[in-house]
Amino acid sequence: MRSKIVAGNWKMNKTYQETKSFVKELTKEVKKVKLDNTRVIIAPSFTNLQKASKKTKGCKIEVAAQNMCAMESGAFTGEISASMIKNVHVDIVILGHSERREYFGETNESLAAKVNTALKNKLEVIFCFGEVLEDRKSKNHFKVVEEQIKEALFHLTSDDWKHIILAYEPVWAIGTGETASPEQAQEMHAFVRELVAERYISDVSEEVSILYGGSVKPANAKEIFSKEDVDGGLIGGAALKVDDFVALIKAI
Ligand code: 13P
């Protein structure tokens, strides 16, 4: 059975002190919740990964990095390698977020290389994809998403897919307050699962968790999470407050 996942992408938010107190409070709250098949993940900035991973040790909160260099090591000023992430006991990395694509020039091709490096280093990947508003308006959203997934992920083996989590994040819904309707999310998630089913054995498409991201908050989470092919959320703004984040965990 595929996992349900609530993941908080903190983006460029929270200092060291803020990370420490957030994690302290969150671990206390998460202990009170019956998680069953649900995974809880937080993705702080690089400078706070080590603190977060230490503080969450032994409790059911996992920690993810928000990005990673495709290169293993060397003269790449300012970059962080997969082994550096693993070295602070972090086993998950978010790749392909639309903000990385838009502001830092990441492409399906460069993301394929990052995915390879991550898997080689035994990092699990939360792979983000999603269309911009013009794509949806021109009814190109399925085509764009298909390309993003095929070009970055379809060279992988069925075994590799055990370490892939997908996250559909329509760019027009990120940080805008405008959420995709539960039906729009379900439609795209079902499309993606079918795409994966056509390329791989059915185990892969049935087992891969597909998260929705884009203005998810306690008020709309239940309805979105209730859709058959929506296995949880990748959350930005609402993941920055313990109360809201816990409400999202409970919603699932
Ligand atoms: P918001 O929840 O703030 O819209 O952000 C979504 C997101 O980009 C998560 O990666």
Q: What is the pLDDT of residue 1?
A: 86
What atom in ligand 1 is closest to the CA of residue 237? Answer: 3
The fraction of the chain above a pLDDT of 70, given in percent, is 100
Nearest Cα to Cα of residue 174 among 224, 206, 131: 131
CA 171 – ligand 1 centroid, Å: 9
What mean pLDDT is predicted for residues 77-94?
98
Q: Between helices 16-30 and 46-55, what is the axis angle to 10°?
A: 30
Q: What is the position in ligand 1's atom list of the atom closest to the CA of 216?
A: 2
Task: Kindly state if the Cβ of 211 falls inside 6 Å of ligand 1.
Answer: no
Q: Is the CB of 179 under 6 A from ligand 1?
A: no
Exposed, middle or buried, 120 (CB in 10 Å: 0-12/13-18/19+)?
exposed
The crossing angle, in degrees rounded to 10, of helices 182-199 and 218-225 is 40
Report the nearest-CA residue for atom 2 of ligand 1. 236
Q: pLDDT for 223-232, tens place per residue? A: 999 999 999 9
> Is 97 assigned a catalytic role?
yes
Domain boundaries, the chain: 4-251
- The confidence score (pLDDT) of residue 176 equals 86
C-alpha torsion 238→36→18→239, nearest 10: -10
The pLDDT tens digits of the residues spanning 176-198 come to: 888 899 999 999 999 999 999 99
23 in ligand 1 pocket by Cβ < 6 Å? Answer: no
Residue 129 near residue 148, CB atoms below 8 Å: yes
Which whole number is the average pLDDT over 87-103?
A: 98
| pTM greater than 0.85 (yes/no) | yes
Which ligand 1 atom is nearest residue 238's CA?
A: 2
Q: Is there an atom of ligand 1 within 6 Å of 130 CB?
A: no
Task: Check pocket membership of 214 for ligand 1, CB cut-off 6 A.
Answer: yes
CA of 101 to the centre of ligand 1 (A): 14
The residue-averaged pLDDT of 130-156 equals 97
**pLDDT band per the 50, 70, 90 thresholds, residue 121:** very high
Amino acid at the residue 12: M
Quick check: is 89 catalytic? no
**196 Cβ neighbours under 8 A, 6+ residues apart:** 149, 161, 204, 205, 208
Which pLDDT score, from 0 to 100, does residue 74 have?
98
* pLDDT for the residue numbered 202: 86
Q: How far apart are CA 249 and CA 35, in angstroms?
A: 8
What is the C-alpha to C-alpha distance for residues 1 and 207, in angstroms, rounded to an integer?
A: 6
Q: Which CATH class is domain 4-251?
A: alpha beta
Out of 97, 99, 131, 189, the active site residue is: 97
Of 41-50, 112-121, 123-132, 176-185, the one with minimum mean pLDDT is: 176-185
pLDDT value at position 219?
96
User: How many residues are given for the chain?
Assistant: 252
Q: Whose CA is nearest to atom 7 of ligand 1?
A: 236
| Averaged pLDDT for residues 63-79 | 98
Residue closest to 67 by CA, chosen among 151, 141, 4, 123: 123
